[in-house]
Amino acid sequence: MQYIQKWPGKITCVFNVSSSSLSDFGFIQVAENDLPFQCILLGGGEQITAEHLRNASIVLASADAHDQLHLSLLCREAGIQCVYVIEYIPETRYQIAALETKNPLLRLRRLLYLRQQEKKRLAAFDISEGLQSNGTPAYYHYRKYRNHLLYFDTRVFRKHMISETDLVGRLDELSRGNPIRLAFSGRLIRMKGADHLVKLALKLKKRSVLFSLVIYGAGEQEKEMKRFIAQHGLGSEVSMPGAVDFYGKLLPEIQKNVDLFVCLHRQSDPSCTYLETLSCGVPIVGYKNRAFAGILDLADIGWGAEMNDIDGIVCIIERLSMNRAEIAEKSRKSIDFACKHDFETTFQKRIDHLRSLV
C-alpha cells in the first residue's frame, strides 16, 4: 500500500462489474474505504470513456482486456500518455481456446475472433506511449514497441522471503535421504496441468521413487483428481488440502516442507507461481512452456521437459531424488533470482517506468 501512496496526485482505478461467479481460490474481500485509490465501477458492457480519463496524466491499461484496446486512441485525442500492460501472447490465447473448447466449429470461431482482437491490440500499441510486459513471452513477442519494460508478477514482499536459517534447515532435511517432497499450488484446471499431477504421481510410484506430493488449490479438476488418487491407491503419497491462505499458510509450508515444486502448465502464461515459488528457495521442475523456458534462460533455477512429457518429468525427479546436492544448489540460485524481483522492487520499477513517460 505505501508504494501506491508514493505516486503524486490521485490514482483512479476503473473496473467493470462482472456477472461471472467468484472464484473459490484466491478470493479476498476489501472494503472500498480501505483502498488507497478512488474506484469507479462500470456496469456490465459499459465502456471507459474520455470523461473517465479527465484530469489523468497517464493511463495504465490492460491489453489483455478486449474492452480497453480503444484507450490509446482516447488518450491520444486528450493528450494523455497511455501505457499498456500485457501478459498473454497469441500462442497462449490459442492454447487456452484449444483446451477449453471441445466443439471444433466453436473453436474455429473463437480462433478467428482472437486473430481479429490481436489486430486491434497491435493497432493500440502503435499509438501507445509504452508497454509493461509481465514475463518473457510477451516481452520478446512485442519487442519492437518502444519504452518496453519487462517485469515478473509476484505477491511476495521482501519480508515474506525464506530466511537463511530456514533455508539451511530445509536443505539439511533434504540431505537426510527421506522421500523427496513435491508440491503444486494453483487453480486445479487442465490449463494449469492439474490433471497431469496425479498421473505423474502414479508413474513415480510405479518407478519406486519415494516421494510425497501436496497439491494446494481448488478448481474443476479437483473431484476427478481425488477419484484418481483413490482408484490408484495414492492416498499415502498424495494429499490435497484445498485452497489455503497465501501468506499465513501456503508460503510457510512451502518454505519449510517442499524440496521441489512441480509446475505442469500447458500454456505459456506468465504465472506469478514461478517467482513466488522461487522466493521460498524452492527450485521448479516443469514443462518448458514459453514462460518457464524464458525464466530458465535468465537463471539456473530448475529443470524442464517438453510440453506434456510426463515421463520426462518423472525421469528428472527420479534422478534428483538420488542427487540431492543438485537440488540444494538450485535452491540457493532460486532465492538469489527471486530477491531481484520481490514485490517492492518490481512495483517501484514499474512506477519509475511510468514516471519517466509523464
Band of residue 67 on the pLDDT scale cut at 50, 70, 90: very high
What pLDDT is recorded for position 6? 35
Cell numbers at residue 358, please? 509523464
Task: Give 300-318 pLDDT, tens digit per residue.
Answer: 999 999 999 999 999 999 9
Spatial separation of the C-alpha atoms in residues 217 and 201, rounded to whole Å: 17
Q: Which CATH architecture fits 2-152+343-355?
A: 3-Layer(aba) Sandwich (3.40)
Neighbour count for residue 72 (Cβ, 10 Å): 24
User: 125-136: per-residue pLDDT in tens?
Assistant: 999 999 999 999
69 pLDDT band, cuts 50/70/90, is: very high
C-alpha cell read off for 151: 517485469
- pLDDT recorded at residue 179: 98
Give Cβ neighbours of residue 158 (< 8 Å, ≥ 6 apart).
339, 342, 343, 344
Q: Label residue 41 by pLDDT band (50, 70, 90).
A: confident
CA-based radius of gyration for the chain: 22
Helices 222-231 + 194-206 axis angle, to 10: 10
pTM comes to 0.90
Output the CATH code of domain 159-339: 3.40.50.2000
Spatial separation of the C-alpha atoms in residues 273 and 286, rounded to whole Å: 12
- What confidence tens digit (pLDDT) does each residue in 8-29 have? 556 888 887 776 666 665 567 7
Grid look-up 531424488 returns 321
Beta carbons within 8 Å of 61's beta carbon, 6+ residues apart: 68, 71, 72, 82, 83, 84, 85
Cβ distance 255 to 161 under 8 Å? no
Residue-wise pLDDT for 341-355, tens only, equals 999 999 999 999 999
How high is the pLDDT of residue 34?
85
Closest CA to 74 of 109, 97, 101, 48: 48
Within the chain, all domains assigned CATH 3.40.50.2000 are found at 159-339
Q: What is the mean pLDDT of the chain?
A: 93
The reported pLDDT for the residue numbered 1 is 23
